Amino acid sequence: MISYKLAKQLKDAGYKFEHDEQCDVQQGIGEDCYCISLSELIEACGDKFEVMGRTVSGGWWVTRDDATFYGDSPEEAVAEAWLELNQK
C-alpha cells in the first residue's frame, strides 16, 4: 500500500493504475491509500529495476541506473524509482 499523496504523484506522472481501489491504512483513522501491488510497480519499472533491500532502520531501498530510492515500504521505494524514471 502507498499513501494517497504518493498515489497522486504517480497518477500525475502518468502511471496507469490497474484499478483505483482505495483502502484504509489504519482502520478507524481514515487515512486513504491506494492498494498497488509490489509486482505491478516492479513490472512498470521494466528492465530499469535492479535490486531491492532493507535498511538497518527497517525501511526499504531500490537501485536503478546507479541511483538509490528509499521508502517506508517496498512499494514506496519502487514507486519513487518509477517516478524518477518517468519525470516529465
* Segments making up each domain of the chain, as ranges: 2-85
Average pLDDT over residues 60-85: 92
In the predicted structure, residue 34 carries a pLDDT above the cut 70: no
Q: What b-and-e string marks burial along 59-69, b requiring 16 or more CB atoms within 10 Å of the CB?
A: ebbbbbeeeeb
% of the chain exceeding 90 in pLDDT? 39
- Crossing angle of helices 74-85 and 38-45, in 10° steps, is 20
H or E element at residue 7: helix 4-12
CB 49 within 8 A of CB 42: yes
Q: Which of 13-27, 41-55, 56-70 has the lowest mean pLDDT?
A: 13-27
pTM for this one?
0.79
Instruction: Round to whole Å and give the CA distance between 25 and 32.
Output: 6
Tens digits of residue pLDDT in 35-50: 788 998 999 988 888 8
Angle at 37 between CA 24 and CA 78, to 5 degrees: 105
Residue 72 cell numbers, joined? 517506508
Band of pLDDT at residue 26, cut at 50, 70 and 90 = very low
